[in-house]
């Protein structure tokens, strides 16, 4: 199966001998920004120096709640080439109420469960810090499974009447066993059958801090350190972890900043 969907994460191509094309003046919250500069050897975004590939590719994320203009600075051998400012388009986020979850999946009280959650959260935090030289992120992304969109990025989650963290990805409802495909070429850095909240979970690394996560799987079909191609089957839809029915939770992040997967699709 091939779900051919063009990347609309924002691409900017800047060519020698000088930057010939400006970045846009505004982008929405939750954007993945992919760029290339053959002129600059260093790109700084809001005082953070980005990894720049040999061919000039770089990437950064605009978080859900980011509201201030972004300053992008281009340098060559330490000398300033250009500074560009990008304004942020403020998004309206939904409120989503989900009831009927086991209370231990909403507000755990058991010490063993709390200890497990802390351990698993720390494990995932370490995976997010990985900064590989891969540049798979520059290629187009595809939707990883077919189904009905049942949850969107950024929505405020109310679980069993309790306000929780905003939703960090896209939920796609489908029957248990529906194939899940890699949204882009990547290296498997995490493959686990049973995390407490996310159940069967896979994380692919696409380079420069860009990662995709697939959660609630009924079957994990890949192993850590395996390289997968875009559209390879990596697992199957399930309802493991904190879930009220079979679906895929698909998230995309740059280090610890999550972006809206729907902005990657056209």
**Quick one: average pLDDT of 74-102?**
86
- pLDDT score, position 104: 66
Dihedral Cα 105, 246, 5, 129, nearest 10 deg: 30
CA gap 138, 128 in Å, rounded: 19
pTM of the model: 0.87
Q: Where are the domains of the chain?
A: 10-89, 95-264
CA gap 27, 210 in Å, rounded: 19
pLDDT in tens, 168-182: 999 999 999 999 999
CA gap 104, 100 in Å, rounded: 11
pLDDT in tens, 206-249: 999 999 999 999 999 999 999 999 999 999 999 999 888 999 99
Q: What sign results for the dihedral spanned by CA atoms 186, 125, 218, 157? A: negative
Place 94 in a pLDDT band, splitting at 50, 70 and 90.
Answer: confident
CATH of the structural domain 95-264, one choice from 3.90.230.10, 2.70.70.10, 1.20.200.10, 3.30.70.270: 2.70.70.10
Residue 266 pLDDT more than 50?
A: yes
CATH of the structural domain 10-89, one choice from 3.30.720.200, 2.60.40.420, 2.30.60.10, 2.20.25.90: 2.60.40.420
């Amino acid at each position: 199966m091939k779900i051919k969907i063009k990347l609309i994460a924002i691409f900017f191509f800047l060519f020698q001998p000088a930057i010939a094309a400006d970045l846009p003046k505004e982008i929405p919250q939750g954007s993945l920004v992919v760029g290339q500069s053959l002129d600059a050897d260093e790109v700084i975004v809001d005082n953070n120096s980005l990894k720049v590939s040999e061919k000039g590719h770089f990437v950064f994320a605009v978080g859900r709640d980011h509201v201030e203009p972004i300053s992008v600075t281009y340098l060559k051998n330490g000398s300033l080439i250009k500074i560009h400012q990008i304004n942020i388009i403020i998004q309206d986020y939904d409120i989503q109420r989900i009831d009927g979850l086991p209370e231990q999946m909403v507000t755990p009280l058991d010490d063993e469960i709390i200890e497990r959650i802390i351990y698993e959260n720390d494990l995932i935090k370490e995976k997010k810090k990985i900064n590989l030289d891969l540049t798979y992120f520059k290629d187009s992304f595809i939707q990883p499974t077919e189904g009905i969109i049942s949850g969107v990025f950024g929505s405020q989650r109310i679980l069993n009447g309790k306000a929780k963290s905003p939703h960090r990805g896209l939920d796609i409802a489908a029957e248990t066993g529906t194939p899940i495909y890699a949204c882009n070429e990547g290296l498997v850095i995490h493959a686990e059958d049973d995390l407490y909240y996310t159940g069967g979970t896979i994380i692919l690394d696409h380079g420069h801090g860009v990662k995709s996560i697939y959660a609630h799987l009924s079957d994990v079909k890949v192993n850590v350190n395996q390289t997968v191609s875009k559209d390879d089957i990596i697992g199957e839809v399930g309802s493991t972890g904190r879930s009220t029915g079979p679906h895929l939770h698909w998230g995309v992040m740059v280090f610890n900043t999550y972006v809206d997967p729907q902005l990657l699709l056209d």
